[in-house]
Chains A and B, each alone.
Chain A
Amino acid sequence: MEYFIQQTVNGITLGSIYGLIAIGYTMVYGIIGMVNFAHGDVFMMSSFIALIFYLVLTQILGITSVALALLIVLILGMLLTGLWNWMIERIAYRPLRGSFRLAPLISAIGMSIFLVNLMQVIQGPNNKSVAPLVTGFLTLGTAGGIVIPYKQILIVAVTGGLLALFWYLVQRTPLGRAQRACEQDIKMAALLGIDVDRTISITFIMGAALAAVAGLLYVIQYGSVNISDGFVPGVKAFTAAVLGGIGSLPGAVLGGLMIGLIEAMWGGYVSADYKDVAAFSILAVTLIFRPSGLLGRPEVEKV
């Protein structure tokens, strides 16, 4: 039982990270219908940004309060990752808007390759690991009971808080309304005076900001960054977005949590080697029986 709860906590932690990345995929897909393949690499870059800033703050500027350092890192990371994604959209995707469907996809794959190799050139190919940023854990029950590290509580709490903020942004502000309008019908939105380019840019920035949160949480959880760490979480987050129903924000979070839990449970009980296979297989099976994902609107074929 303890082991089960432990794995559940692990799964939720992992799932929070996937969910945050997945929102970036799902929002971009919802609004311009493209799969932003470079999003996983944006997440990877954000984890580098987070780690660099953390080291600058603690080593060079000598900030001793971990909480303060993390807060500053979070804000800076969100801003700068947002800037990167804005630039990426501007250069690689905006010129292709309204063009052939596969062109942005290929451009995104190209961007993904470019970003990984850019990071390899400027940061080097090897793994960078640090001592745990957040230590200590909470023990529930008596000795030998359930042990939950503080870092996992932090991760779930930060994810929850930011998702609430984000939900508010999308549901309650004019910006969110513009986004939802573009999602429904981009041409009509433009006709009604919504600045579509700006809305799309903001969507990319928001997606990147959430990826930056995921990047920081990833550093907190694993204590290391690597240029190749973008692909697998990226694909899993994309899987999560599709599983939840691409275009649906709660779906992305739900999908992320599901993928995280599946991975943790499969890894914990069946075989750690095949946990990714399990995640992908469940995706395939879900889509075969529910082609529009868990929370996606079932598409009525227009004839």
Chain B
Amino acid sequence: MTEPSAQAANAPSLTGTSAYNHSEPITFIRQLRYAGVAMLLAFGLSMPLLALKLSQDISNHLIVEQRFLLLASAMLIAFACGLRWRLFGLRSQWPAEALYLVLSALLLFFLIRAFHGLGSLFEATLDKGGSEFLIALGLLACGTALQSALAYALHVERDRWAAALPAMPEGLAARFGGHCAKHANTGALVALVAFPFLMLALTGTAGAIKWVDNFGVQILIYIMLGWGLNIVVGLAGLLDLGYVAFYAVGAYAYALIATQVIPATFPALGVWAFWICLPIAGLLAALWGVILGFPVLRLKGDYLAIVTLAFGEIIRLVLVNWTEVTKGDTGIQTPRITFFGLPFASATGDRTFGEVFGLSGSPTIYRSIFLYFVILALALLTAYTTNRLRRLPVGRAWEALREDEIACRSLGIDTTSTKLTAFAIGAGFGGFAGAFFAARQGFINPKSFEFIESATILALVVLGGMGSLLGVALSAFAVIGGTELLRELDWLKSIFGPTFDPAQYRMLIFGAAMIAMMIWKPRGLISEREPSIFLKERKAVSGTLVKEGHG
């Protein structure tokens, strides 16, 4: 088997820079050398961290627990991968490679479980004896054989893989972005509206609560946040790493007004708290957007990013430490959302939603469905506004700003106020989402507003494709839905043993997926840009021409 360099060159450039020189003939000795290097690398990388674990002994002293079996396994896996490094062209063919690694890893786990009932491989320790080591070795041999077979099969198919894989999303994008867009939108809307009822019919009340609340509402919150940040990052090209600050402002605005201000002034309006606070929260967040934005908007690029990050952290730290008002980490109980003044559950004997509409059963499901429609409406409002704004001078100025700020100024565009509007509107939507979040949770504390949230929202925007509403929605659906789905992996315990805790791999996979997505599609799922106006024919602009902004 040789690696034709022409194919490597034809393969879509995932790397951007220097392609590998494949002209050297691939010999078994060379492969062995790669494998050896990979094994040594694995040794170096996992030497203290994987092989030795810090743990407490009975007297609470820190001791080092030795897990050399784990180290050996890691090295063996690296060796196996190294054997096939370049043989299969990891760089030009990584999706296939990744698939196949996952497959062989799974196989390994299954077999370990089947043969020995060892439990998670990560639980393996030296004191459990050397037999596992031999088993792992044997399994790895099986795995490698399977890998080679699979590699051969895929190798035969490699051209088709290489052509099809990266082309797929473009095709999808074109289909979504093309003349089908209208139908797609209508279809999506119908599906979104029908979703909670469908779930109720399919999974019953308990299942529906999970699907509607954990999935539907959760994903929609992130879609809305992603769309809000998309205005700042995707359209105006301003890198904001502190977006969660506005989400926090919205949430705390709701919590404080609903628990402090309204009971003290107009207690009768208590049931309307959410509906009163929602616009206030949005406006307050927008105001904060202006207050924070004004001094920093002349900063460029990464300076802007770090200052927004700093502001995000300042707001969170104030929420943690200003205990007289925010109650710090203890958090605030917030009143639940009402059906336009009609509570879903009442401790004081007020008429509830269920009673008025003659619906029996748990109020939670009605509340969940109602919450779902509220956030759906809010998200659609965000999408509508963004779409309108893109066709207005201010929206076009945002995109022009992202493309070239100096040219904007030469055309008489007041860049400061243009940036400030983007900041304020983006912040405002964050505030709406925050108020909704507080009303949905019934409890908030600063833990919900850490940097990781800002990072996740930013990741949604970039993974989706900057500026693309559909892209952001798709990425939120995949990322948030996917990580929520990872919560549902308890069945894996039946395979890997009861000590296996799938939950702890959730964020690990999330992080790895972010890296993989970026390498696969650096410009996001939908990188094409829809023009805001056209003379004869609407043609999408290729993502490679669209600039990402320097602000």
A touches B (Cβ under 8 A): yes
Q: A56-B52, A84-B45, A124-B55 are known contacts. Are A109 and B459 too (CB-CB below 8 A)?
A: yes
Q: What is the distance, in angstroms, from B284's C-beta to the closest C-beta of chain A?
A: 20
Q: Which residue of A lies closest to B451 (CB)?
A: A231
Q: Which chain B positions have C-beta within 8 A of A288?
A: 295-296, 299, 307
Size band of the A side of the interface? 35 or more
What CA separation (Å) do A97 and B313 show in the bound complex?
Answer: 29
User: Using an 8 Å CB-CB cutoff, how does the interface string of B432-454 with A read, 1 for contact, 0 for none?
Assistant: 00000000000000000001100
> Number of contacts between A and B (CB, 8 Å)?
208
Q: A96-B518, A129-B62, A238-B306 are known contacts. Are A118 and B508 too (CB-CB below 8 A)?
A: yes
What CA separation (Å) do A291 and B305 show in the bound complex?
Answer: 12
A87's partner among B45, B54, B459 (CB-CB below 8 A) is B45
Among A16-24, A173-181, A278-286, the one that faces the other chain is A278-286
A109's partner among B44, B310, B514 (CB-CB below 8 A) is B514
Top 3 A-B pairs, shortest CB-CB distance: A110-B514, A114-B511, A113-B511
Q: Which chain B positions have C-beta within 8 A of A122?
A: 49-50, 53, 122
Among A98-106, A134-142, A202-210, the one that faces the other chain is A98-106
Among B11-19, B148-156, B261-269, B272-280, the one that faces the other chain is B11-19
Contact check, A110 vs B511: say whether CB atoms are below 8 A apart.
Answer: yes
Q: A281-B314, A287-B296 are known contacts. Are A55 and B518 too (CB-CB below 8 A)?
A: no
- Does B48 belong to the interface (CB within 8 Å)? yes
Among A5-13, A44-52, A150-158, the one that faces the other chain is A44-52
What CA separation (Å) do A303 and B405 show in the bound complex?
Answer: 10
What CA separation (Å) do A246 and B303 show in the bound complex?
Answer: 9
Q: Which chain B positions have C-beta within 8 A of A222?
A: none
Contact check, B514 vs A83: say whether CB atoms are below 8 A apart.
Answer: no
Q: A52-B52, A60-B64 are known contacts. Are A287 and B307 too (CB-CB below 8 A)?
A: yes
Q: A97-B17, A128-B62 are known contacts. Are A277 and B515 too (CB-CB below 8 A)?
A: no
- Does B463 belong to the interface (CB within 8 Å)? yes
Q: Which chain A positions have C-beta within 8 A of B513?
A: 110
Contact check, B504 vs A121: say whether CB atoms are below 8 A apart.
Answer: yes
Q: What is the distance, in angstroms, from B254's C-beta to the closest C-beta of chain A?
A: 23
B41's partner among A29, A83, A130, A225 (CB-CB below 8 A) is A83
Contact check, A123 vs B514: say whether CB atoms are below 8 A apart.
Answer: no
> Main secondary structure on chain B at its contact with chain A?
helix
What CA separation (Å) do A44 and B307 show in the bound complex?
Answer: 23
- Does A167 belong to the interface (CB within 8 Å)? no
Q: Which chain A positions have C-beta within 8 A of B299?
A: 287-288, 291
What CA separation (Å) do A242 and B459 show in the bound complex?
Answer: 23
Contact check, A280 vs B47: say whether CB atoms are below 8 A apart.
Answer: no
- Does A197 belong to the interface (CB within 8 Å)? yes
| Residues in A lying within 8 Å of B, measured CB to CB | 29, 35, 37, 45, 48-49, 51-53, 55-56, 59-60, 76, 80, 83-84, 87, 91-92, 94-107, 109-124, 128-130, 197, 225, 231, 235, 238-239, 242, 246, 273-274, 276-277, 280-281, 283-284, 287-288, 291-292, 299, 301, 303
Q: Which residue of A lies closest to B304 (CB)?
A: A287
Q: Which chain A positions have C-beta within 8 A of B53?
A: 122-124
Contact check, A284 vs B296: say whether CB atoms are below 8 A apart.
Answer: yes
Contact check, B309 vs A106: say whether CB atoms are below 8 A apart.
Answer: no
- Does B33 belong to the interface (CB within 8 Å)? no
Q: Which chain A positions have C-beta within 8 A of B49?
A: 45, 48-49, 52, 119, 122-123
Q: Which chain B positions have C-beta within 8 A of A128?
A: 54-56, 62
Contact check, A235 vs B17: say whether CB atoms are below 8 A apart.
Answer: no
Q: Which chain A positions have C-beta within 8 A of B41?
A: 83, 87
Q: What is the distance, in angstroms, from A11's C-beta to the closest C-beta of chain B?
A: 19
- Does B519 belong to the interface (CB within 8 Å)? yes
User: Using an 8 Å CB-CB cutoff, how does the interface string of B517-528 with A read, 1 for contact, 0 for none?
Assistant: 111001100000
Q: A235-B313, A287-B296 are known contacts. Are A103 and B518 too (CB-CB below 8 A)?
A: yes
Q: Which chain A positions have C-beta within 8 A of B47?
A: 80
Q: Which chain A positions have C-beta within 8 A of B64?
A: 52, 55-56, 59-60
- Does B202 belong to the interface (CB within 8 Å)? no
Q: What is the distance, in angstroms, from A53's C-beta to the closest C-beta of chain B?
A: 6
